[in-house]
Amino acid sequence: MIHLVEETGSTNADLAARLRSGEGWAEGSWLVARRQTAGRGRQGREWFDGAGNFMGSTVVALGEPSPPPASLSFVAALAVHDACAAAIGEGAELSLKWPNDVLLEGGKLSGILLEMVRGHIIVGIGVNLARAPQLPDRKTAALADVAAAPPLEDFAASLAAAFDRRLEAWRTYGLGATLRAFLAGSIHAQGSPLTVHDTDGSFVSGTFAGLEESDGALRLRLADGRERVIRAGDIS
């Protein structure tokens, strides 16, 4: 079910407040805003509030056994990829980039933010449907760059259905199957060069050596042959 509001501060914050108050939020339901005034991205970044874009959140109830909660970022990225592919059809290059970026013709198309509240993971997603922000440090893209931007309601329904499918696969087949699907659509090839901008501000370079089956962390092979496991950061 899609709950559409005209404006709110943050759909993630709204769902967090409901969970903390005991009101709860049904898994499979989404809160979607036409305008969001206090959205956030990874590492505390502000999220671009573009008119006509998708901004919404849903909740996943955690249970045992299940893969690590943080690996839901791969589920979300795959769902965004599925919904965007359905919206634009053939001819445009969609790809995935660790940890959870969806790229259109090499430009960042979406943002994903996970937050844990009272045994639930809130999954917040933003997708550039109509327009993309201009950023100094990276290329960006919007679906409207290659096709007519889909109506918000249609895209929300498509994304919700895709997320349900990917979530079921994550729970049923485990993280390994989700990671294989992610890598199959990703820009990462074994041995390809990478530079990681770590959360502490440092940079480390090496080559792609795969993803950890246990949690999806990136394995970076350094020049001396050692491997470093990266669990957070931006890569280029």
The whole-angstrom separation of Cα 28 and Cα 43 is 26
The CATH architecture one would assign to domain 2-184 is 2-Layer Sandwich (3.30)
Starting at the earlier edge strand, list the strands of the sheet with 101-104.
94-97, 101-104, 107-108
If you ran DSSP here, which 8-state letter would residue 48 be given?
A: P
pTM: 0.91
Q: What mean pLDDT value characterizes the chain?
A: 90
**181: number of CA atoms within 13 Å, CB side?**
21
Q: What is the per-residue pLDDT across 152-178, written as a single tens digit (0 to 9) for each? A: 999 999 999 999 999 999 999 999 999
Start-end of CATH 2.30.30 domains in the chain: 193-235
Q: What is the per-residue pLDDT across 84-93, written as a single tens digit (0 to 9) for each? A: 999 998 878 9
Contacts of residue 230, Cβ cutoff 8 Å, sequence gap at least 6: 196, 198, 217, 218, 219, 220
Start-end of CATH 3.30.930.10 domains in the chain: 2-184
What's the pLDDT band for 61 if we cut at 50, 70, 90?
very high
pLDDT average, residue stretch 52-78 = 93
- pLDDT score of 39: 60
CATH code of the domain occupying 193-235: 2.30.30
